[in-house]
Amino acid sequence: MKQDPLFLPHGAPNLAVTQSAAHDFLKEMGPSITAAKALVVISPHWETKGLKVSAAGPLKTIHDFRGFSEELHQMNYDGAAPQWLVGSVIEAVSSGGLKIEADDTWGLDHGTWVPLILALPENTLPIVQVSLPLGYGAAESIALGRALAPLAEQGILVIGTGAITHNFREMGPENQPIPEWAVSFDKDVENALALGDAAILDLKNHAHYQRALPTDEHLMPLFVAYGAAGKGAAATKLHESWTHRSLSMSAYRFAA
């Protein structure tokens, strides 16, 4: 069965253990994920020189954060990359005209395991991560997604994770009002997804782009997921909430 790609928020690592609207939303996502044959995840926390995919074998849980509870550092998320899935990713990406190679130095970083430990706490699905190459912008991210699109037809679910707004200096207590610039940018990203490639590429010129994303690696997996649905993809917003004052927790599903 074809799998419509997803973009899921991963928030701060303590999303895994702290009740919130996004925490509850991700816990309810399980049934739509377990229908997949396998998972291919693009996280902003695996940036590489050139395009990589997990090498076949067990995937370690990476605790790539500091300053959070020992409980989080003790959490583990079992994952294994089978050779057939690694091969399917390499074949699809190569057929799409991109170069990719297997990499055995990574595992599952918190951009992947935090949302999945809520949605799929006992992982029984084959899984790989695909890296986000350094310097990728919207055009390159969409192109990567389009290269991965044939996997959706094979029942493999492509998931991008990240955040539409991600500025540490603008974060604050949960009880503070959400800044207007953050709400505006989040809404305009939603509008751009509805309009298609040209509007997405023009987001770089948005008045609040730099404030929303001093570095934009957390936004690029959204465009990979969009591209993975194929040309003419329609976006459905599955969830909208905010955390740490200005961090968007919006989620999307894409279907052509």
- Annotated domain spans of the chain: 6-255
CA 246 from centroid of its chain's CA atoms: 18
Residue 78 has a pLDDT of 87
Residue 25 has a pLDDT of 98
Residue 220 has a pLDDT of 98
Residue 1 has a pLDDT of 87
Residue 206 has a pLDDT of 98
Q: 52 near 106, Cβ under 8 Å?
A: yes
Q: Name the residue among 33, 145, 159 with its Cα closest to residue 92.
A: 145
State which amino acid sits at residue 167.
N
Residue 201 has a pLDDT of 98
pLDDT mean values, one per 10 residues, the chain (256 residues): 96 95 97 95 98 98 92 94 98 98 98 97 94 98 98 97 97 93 98 98 98 98 98 97 97 96
Question: What's the CATH class of domain 6-255?
Answer: alpha beta
Residue 33 has a pLDDT of 95
Q: What is the pTM of this model?
A: 0.97
Write out the two tokens for 144: 């990567």
Residue 105 has a pLDDT of 97
Residue 175 has a pLDDT of 85
Residue 138 has a pLDDT of 98
Euclidean distance between CA atoms 46 and 188, whole angstroms = 27
- Give residue-wise pLDDT tens across range 205-246: 999 999 999 999 999 999 999 999 999 999 999 999 999 999
Per residue, what are the HEC states of 190-251? HHHHHHCHHHHHHHHHCCCHHHHCCCCCCCHHHHHHHHHCCCCCEEEEEECCEECCCEECCE
